[in-house]
Structure 1
Amino acid sequence: MNHWPPARACFVTGTDTEVGKTRVSAALLHWMARQGWRSAGLKPVAAGTELIEGIHVNEDVRRLRLASSLPLSDAEVGPYQFEAACAPHIAAHLEGRSIERDVILQAARALAARADALVVEGVGGFCVPLGPDWDTADLAQQLGLPVMLVVGLRLGCINHALLTAEAVRARGLRLVGWIGNAIDPAMPWMTENIAYLRTRLAQQHGAPCLGLVPWLPSTDAAAVAAHLDDAALRAVFTA
């Protein structure tokens, strides 16, 4: 891919933090690799590391690196990794650092130049502060990529999904689809919630359901990818 925005790329956002963005992003990378595409994942900003053999490792960054079919370093996948597991602007302040737009845009372009398909995963929800004057919605807007929404299937998910969809549209971005991820296996009326989301997001935003991931004991990318809608994803990335 030598032009921007690349044809096979997406920005993955979520209805909240801890709703499964990374497991879905890794599954998308796995699915892309199965299509024969050189896939690369990018987690521009990641907060929260653990010390493994003397190296600070962010689990989300590592999972995206391992799911990418291109050989990448943790630094290429995660240009900004902070030790504290908190809002990124706070984590950056604690380390006396700032999150620079140009650094992220250059990292995205560098990966896109090597890959056939690119998955950029946001942090938290759609409007998470990255500094005093910008947030992840600004980042998505500057990247200009189509947006995929990961809906954490739990009580309140309809409201969170519709609000996020409205925010995506307000930024002039295209919501190309959504993926439901069951984070509460005991969620009441899950089927009815999913049915409403299917109808409402398709009618109001032209966003089809691209997969429904049940509660899984494994977060392995291949296991999650098995629950993605192959035909729907092909329509998104090969249209």
Structure 2
Amino acid sequence: MAAKGYFITATDTGIGKTVVTAALLALLRQHGQNAGFIKPVETGVDTHCSSSANSDAKFLLECSGLDEPLEAICPLRLKTPAAPYQSAEIENMEIDPAALVAACRSLAARYHPLLVEGVGGLRVPITPHYHVIDLIEELGFPVILVAGFQLGTLNHTLLSLDALHARGIPVKGVMFSDRKQDGLTDVEALQPALVSHLSKTPVLGRIPFIEDLSTDSFTPHLLAHLEQMINLPALLDG
């Protein structure tokens, strides 16, 4: 795919993909980039009653200030909080992966870079025979893999990187997301360096814990702090 973008996926669900996407989107736009985003699939949201507090897509839309309809930046929204394939089965729906790819390509023609936020991890099924990793491969964007600070991170991160490399999918780097308020243990603080050493993959930085996270959190003060913790030139240079 000719248009520039990044696919943001994670080692698991609940790791911090949305916060990373929001932070990178804000930083890129602050640097004059015409950055946009899309979350092709979201589950666990009621299409008739959702807000930025319980919808990642609405949260990102309000954070970014993009003038796009919700349907464009999140073409598939399912109520059941489960993997898309399971949610669709419960709700008696059929998912068309081609429609998700087309939605991504439509926005990629207008935003550079386009940040595509996945759902869960790489092997989350969208249909029985089409998983998140298949969507990544079809779009052709390099991956930013989000990892958390916790026991099991080395295993989950290295397995995810192995799966991407086995498909020949380019990996831009790993981004760590701190989801805990009480700071890092000595073991957790060493995890980024260990991931980089063991995988030979760049670590792009760390998103610290953001207290009282909201769509108004990404102030100039916070962005200045984030820029010190993230290798933004690596993304600006493509």
Question: TM-score band, normalised by the shorter chain?
Answer: 0.7 to 0.9
Q: CA deviation at 1:215?
A: 2.3
Change (3 A) 1:78 1:226: farther
User: Secondary structure of the equivalent of 1:36?
Assistant: coil
Structure that is richer in strand per residue: 1
Q: CA deviation at 1:41?
A: 1.0
Q: What is the one-letter code of the residue matched to 1:232?
A: N
Within 1, Cα distance between the matches of 2:218 and 2:90?
33
1:6 matched to which residue of 2?
3
Q: Please list every run of 5 or more consecutive structure 2 residues that lacks an aligned counterpart in the other structure.
A: none
Q: What is the one-letter code of the residue matched to 1:78?
A: C
1:236 matched to which residue of 2?
235
Is the 8 Å Cα contact of residues 28 and 225 (structure 1) preserved in structure 2? no
Deviations 1:63-118 (A, max 9, x none): 22123353111111110100111111111112221221211111111111221220
Aligned residues: 229
Is the 8 Å Cα contact of residues 149 and 179 (structure 1) preserved in structure 2? yes
Deviations 1:153-187 (A, max 9, x none): 11110111100011111121111111111224465
Change (3 A) 1:232 1:215: closer
User: Pick from 190, 193, 199: which aligns with 2:191?
Assistant: 193
1:75 matched to which residue of 2?
71
User: Secondary structure of the equivalent of 2:109?
Assistant: helix
Q: CA deviation at 1:5?
A: 3.2
RMSD across aligned positions (CA): 2.1
Change (3 A) 1:110 1:229: farther
Identity %: 32
User: Normalising by structure 2, what TM-score?
Assistant: 0.87
2:132 matched to which residue of 1?
136
1:83-232 matched pairs, under 5 angstroms? 83-184=79-180, 185=182, 188=185, 189-201=187-199, 203=200, 207-219=201-213, 220-222=217-219, 223=222, 226-228=225-227, 232=231
User: Normalising by structure 1, what TM-score?
Assistant: 0.87
Change (3 A) 1:215 1:68: closer
Q: Please list every run of 5 or more consecutive structure 1 residues that lacks an aligned counterpart in the other structure.
A: none
Q: What is the one-letter code of the residue matched to 1:235?
A: A
Within 2, Cα distance between the matches of 1:179 and 1:64?
18
Deviations 1:109-154 (A, max 9, x none): 1111221220001100111011111110111100110000100111
